[in-house]
Amino acid sequence: MQGKGTAVCLPADIDTDMVIAGRYLRTKDRSIWATHVFEDLDPTLAARLKGSVIVAGKNFGCGSSREQAAIAVKEAGVVAVIAPSFARIFFRNAINIGLPLIESDLTCEEGSPILFDISEGWVETGGKRHTIRPLSPRMQEILMAGGLVEYWRAHR
Amino acid sequence: MSTLSERILGAASGEYVDRKVDRAYAHDGTGVLALEAWKAMGGDRLGKDSDYSIHFDHIAPANNSTTATLQHELRDFAKKSFMHFSDIGCGICHQLMSEGVVLPGEIVVGADSHSVTPGAFGAFATGMGATDMAAIWLTGETWFRVPESTGVHLIGRFTGAAEAKDLALTYVGKLGMDGATYQALEFVGEGAHNLSIDERLVLSNLSVEAGAKAGLFYADDVTVHYLKERGHDVAPQVPESCTYRQELDFDLADIVPLVAVPHRVDTVKPVEALAGLPLDQVFVGTCTNGRYSDLARFARLVKGKKTAVRTIVIPASAAVLKKAIRTGVLADIVEAGCTIGTPGCGPCLGYHMGVLGEGEVCLSTANRNFKNRMGVGGEIYLGSVATAAASALTGEITSPEAA
């Protein structure tokens, strides 16, 4: 699975309350989550995410299990999230809804183009190619299927 | 020679396994998306013979008609699919799982991050998201990566005003918010056996705040006795020597009252260092500290006195509330000027019933103090029940040792 986007840098330990605040959860309207994603971190960020690759610090997505956090990031147009580590529930949630996550210690340069290939296991930026920690075979299968809903539709 | 996590999951750390889930529970928050995903997967009836349940605790009762409509649909599904269902007022899912439901050795998945809580019974209990829950409803199974474990060795007993919450904040402070990511915490040693089930539940509950996938205690005589009183005959789990990824040691006698300051659970300071900080609200409750023993301790400290700041006390379950009524604990709390909420999560996650206003400061017995969590512009300090009681009486952060 290949992809590309423009780097948006975020700090470490971004919790899911920060990704999408509790006050926006009581709806099934996904556009609301996309509109308010990262609002409490930077209210201007949501509008800049289309076609981006978020490059964050460690422990991205910690805290609440709210899947709306992963959905909000994807619906806002983020192509993938790169971080040295992810909180484990967010990790599963993102793959389950078809949002690629990449574990890598990449240094972020705001606005620089980023290319990646998850199947081959690399991410490239600033003319340099970095290896990434591979997803487990099951997670790769789920991601390639487009998410866990599609995976189970195909596997039942 | 296995860790408890390896023993329950039946494989060595690092391996990926598919396992039948003994219990799978969701709540009114995560259940809505899980139902949507389950339908999209083609779900028509529940999978294998897992014990499935849905509990209304996050916005209970519903705060507006949008929430009420979402809850109506989920309630309807729970009843038609013959899931165990607990409606508003029954209490917090993790607490209900801990009132004689989860048993040692079980694999338990909750669609909520604090589903680590029933690990206190020697179960492998972990949190997942809505779509994972939907797949469990579909198949009765899920995949796990068997975690490495951090051994948390405990000796001694608490002294002074320190309690389990202070130890929990101590270990989160030491590990940091991701110090146990992808790992399980296993609480072992003579000090672990000295802890009551309620105290163990606090320690398991906070394990996710260090990033852990689970927080387990071996079932021992205390567990056997607790479950016997609730109608279950279980055997203790005997630890074997095993390899931990990292090890921590705590003497319970060294633990002092702490608070976690905004906006990180791992930024902890002695209560003394914050003494005198004015408060707008004190909140006692949640899946961390809303049990009967918590309410009873709080009542003992405020009995016959008056709170100096608005104080909300929310029992974790209907059983807790009923016992507090029977024993007079509730009367003491109300006489002291506190407000009682419906059993459930209360304002912890910032939806309703006691959220903070801009610039307001709250001392809470909950488990998260993330920015804006309990209301935009509000600040949350996390502490123990005794710290909450001492602070409620003065209207400022106050050490329970000073009270």
Return the pLDDT at B49: 77
Same domain, B108 and B175: no
Q: Which of B192, B181, B326 lies closest to B251, judged by CA?
A: B192
ipTM: 0.97
Q: How far is CA B24 from the centre of its chain?
A: 16
Same domain, B24 and B97: yes
Q: What is the CATH number for A126?
A: 3.20.19.10
DSSP three-state, residue A91: helix
| pLDDT tens across the length of chain A (156 residues) | 899 999 999 999 999 999 999 999 988 899 999 999 999 999 999 999 999 999 999 999 999 999 999 999 999 999 999 999 999 999 999 999 999 999 999 999 999 999 999 999 999 999 999 999 999 999 999 999 999 999 999 987
| Domain of residue B220, residue span | 149-254
Question: Taking CB atoms and an 8 Å cut-off, how many pairs form between chains A and B?
Answer: 127
Among B87, B116, B144, the domain boundary falls at B144
Q: State how far the alpha carbon of B189 is from the alpha carbons of A155, B156, B165, B249, in Å.
A: 45, 9, 18, 9
Q: Which of B353, B320, B89, B300 lies closest to B201, judged by CA?
A: B320
Return the pLDDT at B362: 98
| Domain of residue A67, residue span | 2-155
Same domain, B66 and B118: yes
Best B25, B74, B131, B139 member to test A by mutation, with max A CBs in 10 Å, is B131
**B2 occurs within a structural domain:** no
Q: Which two tokens stand for residue B170?
A: 């101590």
Among B254, B279, B299, the domain boundary falls at B254
Return the pLDDT at B403: 62
**B47 occurs within a structural domain:** yes
Output the average pLDDT for chain A.
Answer: 96
Q: Which residue of B has its CA nearest to A16?
A: B370
How far apart CA B68 and CA B333 sit, in angstroms, is 30
pLDDT digits (tens, 9 = 90+) for B39-76: 999 998 888 778 999 999 999 999 999 999 999 999 99
Q: What is the CATH number for B267?
A: 3.30.499.10
Nearest by CB: A17 against B33, B182, B372: B372
Q: Which residues contact B183 (CB under 8 A, 6 or more apart)?
A: B147, B148, B149, B150, B211, B212, B213, B245
Q: Which two tokens stand for residue A70?
A: 């992963």
Report phi then psi at B337, rounded to 5.
Answer: 100, 10
Report phi then psi at B215, rounded to 5.
Answer: -135, 105
Q: Which residue of B has its CA nearest to A41?
A: B371
Q: Which two tokens stand for residue B26?
A: 């969701």
Dihedral of CA atoms B58, B63, B65, B68 in degrees, nearest 10, equals 30
pLDDT digits (tens, 9 = 90+) for B120-175: 999 999 999 999 999 999 999 999 999 999 999 999 999 999 999 999 999 999 99
Return the pLDDT at B402: 79
Among B228, B254, B280, the domain boundary falls at B254
Residues of B in contact with A153 (CB under 8 A): 40-42
Output the average pLDDT for chain B.
Answer: 97
- Taking only Cα atoms into account, the Rg of chain A, rounded to an integer number of angstroms, comes to 15
Contact B372 A149 (CB under 8 A): no
**B360 occurs within a structural domain:** yes
A86 forms beta bridges with A60
Q: Is the pTM of this model over 0.90?
A: yes
Return the pLDDT at B82: 84
Same domain, B224 and B267: no
Strands B51-55 and B23-27: parallel
Same domain, B86 and B130: yes
Return the pLDDT at B372: 94
Same domain, B30 and B156: no
Q: How many domains does chain B have?
A: 3
Same domain, B128 and B93: yes
**B385 occurs within a structural domain:** yes
Q: How many domains does chain A have?
A: 1
**B399 occurs within a structural domain:** no
- pLDDT range class, residue B102, cuts 50, 70, 90: very high
Give the length of chain B. Answer: 403
**B403 occurs within a structural domain:** no
Best B370, B371, B374, B379 member to test A by mutation, with max A CBs in 10 Å, is B370
Return the pLDDT at A156: 79
Whether B15 contacts chain A with CB within 8 A: no
DSSP three-state, residue B228: helix
How far apart CA A18 and CA B209 sit, in angstroms, is 15
Query: What's the average model confidence in pLDDT over B296-325?
Result: 98
Same domain, B232 and B313: no
Q: State how far the alpha carbon of B381 is from the alpha carbons of A63, B204, B369, in Å.
A: 16, 20, 6
DSSP B91: B
